[in-house]
């Protein structure tokens, strides 16, 4: 049986949110789009939460890394993907450093294509036995 993909996507850019929402709707069982990281944290407090989180790296109230740590602490099975141009002081090409922040996968914003990202996430989740 195929795993249901329930995706949360957070980005403070309204154009990207709208674009990604439209693209993900054709690819997953459910997509929830958020403008603020705190909205994601609040959403993850209820049952039937998303099992995959795509997060921007730089947002006004907190970084994607801070959001990832908050979600990872409470929901370790959630796959967290950082989609960013970069974060000052963080080597995004170092999987160990990303892992310490709770990130499972990093994709540069310029290279982000939802269908490709989901293929990578499915492979990762299969490797993890999720």
Model confidence pLDDT, tens digit, residues 32-41: 999 999 999 9
| CATH number, domain 6-128 | 3.40.50.2300
- Cβ pair 64, 56 in contact under 8 A: yes
The helix (run of H) or strand (run of E) holding residue 106 is strand 105-108
pLDDT of residue 32: 95
Cα separation of 105 and 125, whole Å? 11
How does the average pLDDT of the chain come out, rounded?
A: 90
Q: What are the residue boundaries of the structural domains of the chain, listed by start?
A: 6-128
Other beta carbons within 10 angstroms of residue 30's beta carbon come to: 14
pLDDT of residue 1: 47
pLDDT of residue 95: 85
The rounded percent of the chain whose pLDDT value lies above 70 is 97
Question: 10 φ, ψ to 5°?
Answer: -125, 130
- Cβ pair 85, 63 in contact under 8 A: no
User: How far does the chain reach from its first CA to its final CA, in angstroms?
Assistant: 13
Mean pLDDT, residues 49-75: 92
Cα separation of 120 and 73, whole Å? 23
pLDDT at 55 over 70: yes
- pTM for the whole structure: 0.92
The alpha-carbon radius of gyration of the chain (Å, integer) is: 13
Mean pLDDT, residues 9-36: 94
User: pLDDT grade, residue 2 (50/70/90)?
Assistant: low
């Amino acid at each position: 049986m195929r795993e249901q993909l329930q995706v949360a996507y957070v980005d403070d850019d309204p154009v990207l949110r709208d674009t990604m929402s439209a693209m993900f709707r054709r690819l997953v069982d459910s997509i929830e789009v958020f403008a603020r990281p705190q909205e994601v944290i609040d959403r993850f407090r209820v049952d039937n939460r998303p099992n995959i989180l795509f997060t921007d790296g730089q947002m006004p109230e907190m970084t994607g890394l801070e959001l990832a740590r908050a979600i990872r602490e409470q929901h370790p099975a959630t796959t967290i993907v950082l989609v960013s141009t970069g974060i000052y002081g963080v080597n995004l090409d170092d999987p160990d450093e990303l892992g310490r922040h709770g990130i499972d996968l990093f994709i540069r914003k310029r290279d982000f294509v939802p269908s490709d990202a989901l293929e990578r996430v499915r492979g990762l989740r299969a490797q993890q036995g999720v």
